[in-house]
Chains A and B, each alone.
Chain A
Amino acid sequence: MAFLDIESLRKSFGSHVAVEHFELAVARGEFVSFLGPSGCGKTTTLRMIAGFELPSAGRIRIDGREVTHLRPNQRKVGMVFQSYALFPNMTVAENVAFGLKVAKRPAAEIGPRVTEMLKLIKLPELGGRYPYQLSGGQQQRVALARALAIKPEVLLLDEPLSALDAKIRVSLREEIRSVQRDLGITTIYVTHDQEEALSMSDRIVVMNEGRVEQIGTPVEIYNRPRTRFVASFVGTLNILSGRVVDAATGRLAVDGQEILSGGAIPGAQRGDTRAVALRPEAVSLSTSPGHNRLSGTVEEVNFLGAIVRIRVRLKESAVSFDTFNNPNVPPPGRGTTVAIGFTREDVLVLEGGGSA
């Protein structure tokens, strides 16, 4: 049985449905990210797990205990907010000790626990400072320590790095992940930043308009996006319109040129259109026997130093891709006819309709 179990969760505000049909089973110690654009329902779902919003329908269980209707202070859930939410009137140490004091833990336990937490976030010297005397990154680390001090069963992070600058964001996300691994704490992480989700998570839940689009490991989500939304939201993709020629062998025609996909196209009939996605890094200017091949005209060449970005026009569709700059082989000029190659496995046939 999953440690955190979410069943048929639904939340509506008046006539607006924020989340529906949300199903997720999170294993103990797993790091799961909710990824999606703003307004997709990821924060609402997190707030329902925290207890700040009551679901309109569905159930939430933590370690077999039904918590759906429990108050936030009864759930044993630690929360880290985007705006840090440190108590401005308390020192760093008092902030970290707050949850323990509320739980009426003995002073002999609180002191060492606070020291341990401050060491964990690598700020052992700053216990006496006030939040306004710390940088944004330090404040968010203190917020993490405060949430972890009470030994929660689940740690929830609501876009914790969004307010920080890029450099701090990268170092802090590594730190959060390493602390999470060390403590083995089950974690839900909400973000709209695909790089964050891909680099940190055991699994990602991609959400759009209140629904789950796909749940999978970062590698699965990136390499095998199931829907057009996932494909376009995670990474950059070329989306082409393909007409099914033979569903059983996975043969499709793109602008009249036939290509093969990785396998059979389930549920498709000859003549159906399907959206076909191609990652820019899967495409090259060289073709090998047995690989897919498409010919077209070079429409745009952008020299970016180490990388040359090329766009090839087929007929209706265009394919963009990057190649490394090679001083001995100049990039093709605009208007030249070229052939591009990619493997069968690189062709991602997406669910749903296919106008590109």
Chain B
Amino acid sequence: MRHSRIGSWLAIAIGTIYFLVPLLCTFEFSLRMRRGEYSFDAYRIVLSDPQFQATFLYSTALALATILVGVLLVVPTAYWIQLRLRRLRPVVEFITLLPLVIPAIVLVFGYLRIYNSSSLLPFTASEAATNLLLTFGYVTLALPYMYRAVDTGLRSIDVRTLTEAAESLGAHWPTILLKVILPNVRVAVLSGAFLTFAIVIGEFTMASLLDRPAFGPYLQLMGANRAYEPSALAIIAFLVTWASMGLMQLLGRRPGDGR
């Protein structure tokens, strides 16, 4: 009993040191821009850099678009598989896992070959179309996470009976999906959404090779040319992630829990 307790505390301590020390060091280093004293200069410079603002905004917009397309694609698919096409589940799971096996660079080269400006679907011919292509690429990259999250959520509720109850009350498919199924897998969809957000915000390969002004390539540029600012950016990225997780907790609460 005593031994196992010491063991668990030791495990927690090692884990904490492993995660916190690099973070604290990065934070400490990001404050050392001014010689001999701590300051937030690096943060000031980064935050006031118009390129930071533009790329961060670009990636955020793309992340939101990716989440929207991803949810519209994944929720009905996972729902339909859970409800009627259970035999297809292994096939769909395999397909959704492919982006984990195929490197992003292979994907983007494939895109460039298929959708170049002289192809039948010239996605790379204009900036707007390239943005669209990048969004679709991100949807693919985020598919394993989004599908898994939504599928787990759907498995935790009795999809079939809830659907039948709604149907017997006169509801049609759009109402059932929007009013009954989606609200009950909200937490799962939100976790999928935040994971997607995290992937898109830091993604480098696709954005760089499609030559889009995203946050990933900007991070790389800063990292290659500056000393203190990349550390400040890393801390900012962590803060954004934590804020996302906090929001996920807040929005994922069950209705009526607060009373």
Contact = CB atoms under 8 A, between A and B. Distances in A.
Interface of A: 50-52, 71-73, 75, 77-79, 81, 83, 85-89, 91, 98-99, 102-103, 129-130, 132-133, 143, 146-147, 150
A62 to B, nearest CB: 13
A73 B161 contact: no
B161 A81 contact: yes
Interface stretch (B40-48, B163-171, B218-226): B163-171
Query: Which of A85, A130, A143 neighbours the largest number of chain B CB atoms within 10 Å of its CB?
Result: A85
B198 interface: no
A85 B162 contact: yes
A83 B161 contact: yes
Given A89-B184, A89-B255, A102-B175, A77 B157 contact: no
Interface residues of B, number: 22
Contact residues of B: prevailing secondary structure: helix
Given A87-B165, A98-B166, A130-B256, 13 more contacts: A50-B164, A50-B168, A79-B165, A81-B164, A85-B161, A85-B162, A89-B186, A99-B171, A102-B170, A103-B170, A130-B254, A130-B255, A150-B169
B158 interface: yes
B172 A73 contact: yes
Interface in B155-204: 157-158, 161-162, 164-172, 175, 179-180, 183-184, 186
A125 B2 CA distance: 51
A27 to B, nearest CB: 22
A57 B131 CA distance: 54
Contacts of B256: 91, 129-130, 133
Given A130-B255, A130-B256, A87 B168 contact: no
A133 to B, nearest CB: 7
Contact of A150 (B161, B170, B183): B170
A86 B186 CA distance: 17
Contacts of A88: 157, 184
A85 B160 CA distance: 9
A102 B171 contact: yes
A73 B254 contact: no
A57 B46 CA distance: 73
Contact of A147 (B168, B172, B183, B184): B168
A49 B167 CA distance: 13
A33 B17 CA distance: 66
A89 B167 contact: no
A99 B169 contact: yes
A79 B167 CA distance: 10
B184 A73 contact: no
A48 to B, nearest CB: 13
